[in-house]
């Protein structure tokens, strides 16, 4: 048994170190397609080079090693910002930062190891190429759901800043990933260079068609809104290492109050403060909301705030009317594992290990789930708090279709180089998928108003202090993806996998 488990780690089961290093560099090249770089062309080159390395292997274990190495390079380069939360208080948590990056990159790379392993299960180079396409597609699909999901830096995200991203309205983010790997990898499955040239022609044509369809969708006329909705997004730029300091929190609170009180050229229907915008709990916050109502002249507000029920704490968004009365509260329900709660922490409490239990106040407890909130003149809103905007399935889970999506977030945890830009890119993709406008108020930025085709119509840059008044764009008609989600793409991948397995079985017999 021990010998069997150790077999993948024997020297002869691994490709040479030079090939593994090459795969790591290819993966890093693929990451250059992610925000803020957006070099999709470099991502395609890196993906093609990695595929060449993997397809040269006919042994599943060695192909899996190369896929894993490519994944390590990709996730280390795309998600290096994962160290930033540990550097907010470096004296206490800084030692954890390198471990967080190593564990994140090597752990997520296991999904790419699966893709490499899949490529070598089939006879013939063409089938291996198809196996690699299916492996990457299934990996991105699984990463969107397994262990609560973490669909960050999917391969298809390289298109978010291009017209190709509009295809997400039909096929979703996994569809973008499958399109990407298919147009790059399938030509590499041809027998020789002349055949590869021929197969490349339809791949380029498919990509050109997707680009053209995206341009067509972007050129469609704007849908008028029956009645304008005017919203103010407040961005205080309260850096995370200063946010809760005793000598700073009042400054940030007064800053948000002053930004909210600024005169507006039009009558506002809602003012939005970002995630955890105030340094106290919702219980007993009545004087604060009354003061805010007086400062704004009676404009309804949505404020990111924490609240306590019994021994449980919630990351919440409180909605107050023009008189300062809290009329509704949304509790974040899709929490960040190990960041906002410890998985199985409540279960461990049954054995006396209460230090990890959310029910004992150690971490947040999840809310009941996604739901719409009727804000009267401001319309029916789907609230999302930070990380929840990463999951298209969460947007669809609310059931009824909202007028618009509201995201409040504190991207001060993500640094200033890549994390906030990737989070904004994900929000843009949610808008495209659903055909819904999305407004986001971010503590340190990037606060933005996004239309139903994913275009940023107004924004406050990272690190800016200010507020923007925006007219909420109209919702587009429901998209195919908003109706069906990932089921069609999952069914297609399963069908193609079954067809590939049948072909292999037919050849064997």
Tens digit of each residue's pLDDT (9 = 90 or more) over 398-450? 778 999 999 999 998 888 999 999 999 999 999 999 999 999 999 998 999 99
Q: Residue 352's CB: how many other CB atoms inside 10 A? A: 7
Active-site residue set? 275, 332, 386
Token pair of 303, please? 């404020």
Q: Position of tokens 């939005």? A: 272
Residue in 14, 9, 20 with CA at minimum distance from that of residue 50 = 20
For residue 322, give both structure tokens.
């023009």
Residue 467 exposed, middle or buried by CB count within 10 Å (0-12, 13-18, 19+): buried
State the pTM of this model: 0.92
Question: 263: burial class by Cβ within 10 Å (0-12, 13-18, 19+)?
Answer: exposed
Left, alpha or beta for 414 (phi > 0: left; psi -120 to 50: alpha)? alpha
Smallest CA-to-CA distance from 373 within 396, 353, 349, 402 is with 402
Rounded distance between C-alpha atoms, residue 359 and residue 363, angstroms: 8
In sequence order, what are the residues at sequence separation of 6 or more whose Cβ sits closer than 8 angstroms to the Cβ of residue 343? 147, 337
Are 68 and 109 in contact, with CB atoms under 8 Å apart? yes
Beta carbons of 71 and 108 less than 8 angstroms apart: yes
Q: Tally Cβ neighbours within 10 Å of residue 400.
A: 8
What pLDDT, on a 0 to 100 scale, did the predictor assign at position 353? Answer: 43
Q: Which of 60, 195, 41, 176 shows the shortest CA–CA distance to 114?
A: 60
* Predicted pLDDT of residue 506: 64
* Residues of the chain predicted below pLDDT 70: 1-12, 193-194, 341, 344-362, 506-509
Q: How many residues would you count in the chain?
A: 509
- Cβ-in-10-Å burial (0-12, 13-18, 19+) of 254 comes to exposed
> Are residues 94 and 87 in contact, defined by beta-carbon separation less than 8 angstroms?
yes
Given this model, what pLDDT does residue 199 score?
Answer: 76
435 is written with which tokens? 């055909």
- Which residue, among 245, 257, 249, has the nearest Cα to 289 in the 3D structure? 257
Spatial distance between the Cα atoms of 385 and 11, rounded to a whole number of angstroms: 47
Among the listed residues 386, 468, 481, 465, the one whose alpha carbon sits nearest the alpha carbon of residue 431: 481
Distance, C-alpha 350 to centroid of its chain:
34
Integer Cα distance of 96 and 101 in angstroms: 9
**Residues 6+ away with beta carbon under 8 Å from 143:** 108, 111, 149, 150, 151, 154
Give the 3-state DSSP-derived string for 66-135, with helices as H, strands as E and coil as C.
HHHHHHHHHHHHHCHHHHHHHHCCHHHHHHHHHHHHHHHHHHHHHHHHHHHHHHCCCCCHHHHHHHHHHH
Angstrom distances, CA of residue 272 to CA of 38, 259, 289, 345: 30, 11, 13, 33
Which tokens sit at 221? 């006329």
Beta bridge partners of 312: 309
- List, for residues 340-380, the tens digit of each pLDDT value: 767 755 665 555 544 445 554 557 888 899 999 999 999 99
The CB-side HSE value for 67 (13 A sphere, CA atoms) comes to 27
């Amino acid at each position: 048994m021990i010998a069997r488990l150790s077999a993948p780690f024997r020297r002869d089961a691994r490709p040479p170190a030079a090939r593994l290093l090459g795969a790591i560099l290819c993966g890093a090249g693929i990451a250059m397609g992610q925000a803020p770089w957006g070099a999709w062309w470099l991502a395609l080159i890196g993906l093609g080079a990695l595929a060449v390395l993997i397809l040269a292997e006919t042994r599943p274990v060695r192909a899996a090693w190369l896929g894993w190495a490519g994944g390590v390079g990709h996730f280390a380069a795309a998600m290096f910002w994962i160290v930033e939360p540990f550097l907010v208080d470096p004296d206490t948590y800084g030692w954890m930062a390198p471990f967080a990056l190593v564990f994140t990159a090597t752990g997520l790379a296991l999904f790419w190891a699966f893709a490499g392993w899949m490529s070598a299960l089939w006879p013939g180079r063409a089938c291996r190429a198809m196996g690699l396409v299916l492996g990457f597609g299934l990996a991105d699909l699984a990463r969107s759901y397994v262990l609560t999901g973490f669909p960050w830096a999917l391969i298809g995200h390289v298109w978010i800043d291009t017209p190709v991203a509009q295809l997400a309205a039909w096929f979703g983010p996994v569809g973008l990933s499958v399109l990407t790997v298919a147009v790059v990898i399938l030509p590499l499955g041809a027998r020789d260079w002349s055949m590869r040239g021929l197969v490349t022609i339809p791949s380029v044509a498919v990509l050109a068609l997707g680009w053209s369809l995206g341009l067509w969708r972007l050129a469609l006329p704007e849908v008028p809104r029956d009645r304008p909705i005017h919203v103010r997004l407040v961005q205080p730029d309260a850096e995370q290492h200063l946010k809760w300091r005793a000598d700073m929190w009042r400054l940030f609170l007064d800053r948000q109050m002053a930004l909210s009180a600024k005169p507006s050229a039009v009558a506002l229907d809602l003012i939005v403060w970002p995630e955890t915008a105030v340094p106290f709990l919702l219980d007993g916050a009545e004087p604060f909301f009354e003061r805010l109502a007086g400062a704004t002249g009676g404009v309804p507000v949505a404020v990111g705030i924490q609240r306590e029920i019994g021994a449980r704490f919630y990351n919440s968004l409180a909605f107050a009317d023009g008189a300062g009365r809290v009329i509704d509260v949304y509790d974040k329900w899709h929490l960040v594992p190990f960041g906002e709660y410890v998985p199985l922490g409540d279960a461990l409490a049954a054995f006396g290990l209460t230090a990890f239990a959310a029910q004992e106040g150690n971490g947040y407890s999840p809310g009941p789930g996604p739901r719409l909130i009727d804000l009267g003149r401001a319309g029916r809103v789907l609230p999302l708090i930070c990380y929840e905007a990463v999951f298209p399935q969460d947007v669809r889970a609310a059931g009824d279709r909202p007028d618009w999506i509201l995201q409040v977030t504190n991207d001060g945890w993500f640094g200033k180089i890549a994390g906030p830009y990737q989070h904004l890119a994900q929000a843009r993709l949610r808008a495209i998928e659903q055909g819904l406008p999305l407004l986001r108020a971010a503590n340190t930025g990037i606060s933005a108003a996004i239309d139903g085709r994913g275009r940023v119509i107004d924004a406050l840059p990272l690190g800016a202090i200010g507020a923007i008044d925006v007219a909420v764009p109209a919702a587009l008609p429901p998209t195919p993806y908003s109706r069906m989600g990932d089921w069609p793409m999952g069914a297609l991948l399963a069908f193609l996998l079954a067809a590939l397995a049948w072909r292999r079985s037919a050849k064997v017999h």
